[in-house]
Structures are given as structure tokens and as C-alpha cells.
A = this chain, B = another copy of it.
Amino acid sequence: MIRVGIFGASGLAGGELIRLVVQHPELELTFLGGNASAGRRPAEFHPGLRLDLGLTIEPVSTNLAGRCDVVFLATPATASAELAARLADEVPCVIDLSGAFRIQTPALHDRWYPDVRRAGGLADRFVYGVPELIGDQLPGAALISLPGCFATAITIGLAPLVIGLGLNLKTVVVDGKTGSSGGGLSLRTADLHPLRNGAIAPYAPAGHRHAAEVKDFLERSKPGGIDSLSMSAYGVSHVRGLMASSYVFTDDEVDARTLNRAYLRFYKQRPFVRVRRHNETLIPVPDPQAVLGSNYCDVTVLHDEEGGRIVVLAALDNMVKGAAGQGIQVLNLRFGLPEETGLTMQPVMPA
């Protein structure tokens, strides 16, 4: 059994990690860390979780040498930056769910995460990326940074164009729509149910740091692949799941058949990416409700001939493939387990 610790155990992402670790046949939960929550039981914060976990949340200062084979940081970026510096020497593997180590280019990082100071050289030691793209870097990795929820969907959506087909994308306009769970459980008036239900909330109408993250990564993976990428993000009236729509303009020649084949080929061996036709089931897909609770990312590519553009839609559960589930997927690859271990749960739909 691989011994797992989780920092940020009282938050939403921490709770989702507990859920998935509990369901995983090869993992043993040996540490839960929190500050304000230290000394309390995880079920106090996670109403659905089985009640007999037998663990109490411990202070984050607890030394984990010899107690954990891997730890997840489900903490704010500022806390993750500090914890990673310490834990790098304490446990064999650290997987960070925050934005602290996602953007590798220092100037870009400083612009989008001005409050997050990273210890010298630490950022360069992190492996970052969607596991479908950087899986070969994971076995044995000591420090891993998980992509943001939107960044995961956008990257999975664009990679077959940029990396698979080698297109040059002149302009990419991303419109992101997400449920309220993306904002966690911080107390903000605008996130109270009366104001959030029924909303279309343009919370990041002219720029989002997940777009910077995608550009930084894809530019390293395939220099010159994308000229311009802009993004706007909206909160809509459900809880779990997001959709990233990428509207792509290119001068390269493409057609619908080539596109669809390229996507199918690119993700042929990837169990968690499902390339789907828009009308193959009784609701239009992709739709995040069709992946709810699962680690799937559903992708559809369309050629809008009249609009002169490619439309790429990618939907995932921001708590699973966009956070905790992708964390387990990465853990599996890091420790040499089959990629799907503990992640075979099917979508819970309708819900």
C-alpha cells in the first residue's frame, strides 16, 4: 500500500481527495493536515464521507518523514509554496493542486501570482502538465504540479491541433463556464446561494490565469504553435463541472474529417479522454453533467465552415479530472500503477 497524506483536508479539494483515496485499492490514508481544523475529524467538514475513517486532522507542521510516500497539497498557492519547500526533503513525492508551481516562466508567474514567492530553483524541479501529455516524466518524479481545472480542459482541447496536427493557431478565444464548486468554501457574499443560483457571473471577463498557464506550457511544448490566446470565465448556476470552449482561427487548411480523426488518434490510448460526436446521445455533448464524479474529460471538435473557425469543446468535473482525480491519475503513473487504478467510477448522471 502507498501511504498518502493530504494537506488542506478540510477544504473541498481535500475532501475530494479523501473520497478518491478511500475508494482506491492501493492507497492508504495516513495523514490529514490542516491548521484551523487540526484536532477535528474529517467528517465534520465533509458531510458525505464515511464516518469511520479513524483519522483526525493534524497540524500542518507535523513531520511526515517515514509516514507518507506521497503528499497532496490541497492548499492555497501561498501555503503550497511554503509547504513544498519544506516537504521536498521530507517525503518522496509532493503533488501540488494549487497554482504555485504551474507557470514556470518567472515573469509570467509573478504577474499572475504576485503574492506567491517560490524558493530559489524550486519551480524548475516541478513536473507540470496534463498526464495525457507529460506522462513519461512522471515515474519517480519528486515534485509534481497539477494543471488548473480550466487549464486541463483547454490543453486537452488544443493539444491535438497544436501538437497532433502541428497547426499554427493565429487566434484562440476561450470561453469558460464553471459551477460554483470551483470557488471553494471561502465566505464571499457573491457566492451565497441566493446570489449565485440563477447567475451567469462574469467573474473573469477579460483574462484568466489558467490561460497564461496554458500558453506558458504549450509554448514550451511546441514553440510558435499559438500566436494569441485570450480567455473569459463565467460562473453558471450549477455546482460541479466545467466546459472550456476554444474558438480557433488558423490560416492552415483543415476540414471536419481531418479534425475528427486527429482527435481520435491523439487520444486513442488515453482512457480518460473521450472524443465524442456532438449528437451521439440524447443530450448534446460534451456536457459536464455526463462526466460528473468521474475522471473523464469529454472532447468534441467541430469545423464551423461559415465562421471560418474550429470549435473545440472540452468538459470535465473540476473536482475530479480538474483536481483530485487527476492527482490520483498522476500518482498512479508516478508509482507505476495502471493509470485507471481507483478511477473507474462511472459518471453519476443525472444528478
Contacts and interface: CB of A to CB of B under 8 A. Distances in A.
A191 B188 CA distance: 11
A192 interface: yes
Interface string A300-343: 10111011110101010000000000000000000000000000
A228 interface: yes
User: Considering residues A185, A285, A304, A349, which has the most beta carbons from chain B within 10 angstroms of its beta carbon?
Assistant: A349
Contacts of A139: none
Nearest to A206: B304
A291 interface: yes
User: Considering residues A247, A282, A311, A351, which has the most beta carbons from chain B within 10 angstroms of its beta carbon?
Assistant: A351
Contact of A346 (B49, B278, B303, B309): B49
A286 B200 CA distance: 8
A252 interface: no
Interface string A154-170: 00000000000000000
B198 A196 contact: no
B308 A346 contact: no
Interface string A177-190: 10111010101111
A146 to B, nearest CB: 20
A193 B291 contact: no
Interface in A101-147: none
Nearest to A228: B308
B243 A181 contact: no
A254 interface: no
A346 B283 contact: no
Contact of A293 (B194, B281, B351): B351
A228 B247 CA distance: 13
A351 B239 CA distance: 5
A30 interface: no
A51 B289 contact: no
A23 B344 contact: yes
A332 B326 CA distance: 31
A291 to B, nearest CB: 6
A241 interface: yes
19 contacts: A15-B349, A22-B346, A47-B285, A47-B349, A48-B294, A173-B247, A179-B194, A185-B195, A189-B282, A191-B193, A200-B236, A202-B243, A202-B313, A203-B284, A205-B302, A207-B304, A230-B309, A293-B293, A345-B345
Sorted nearest first, the 8 A-B pairs with minimum C-beta distance are A230-B307, A48-B347, A193-B196, A206-B304, A48-B349, A180-B193, A293-B348, A194-B350
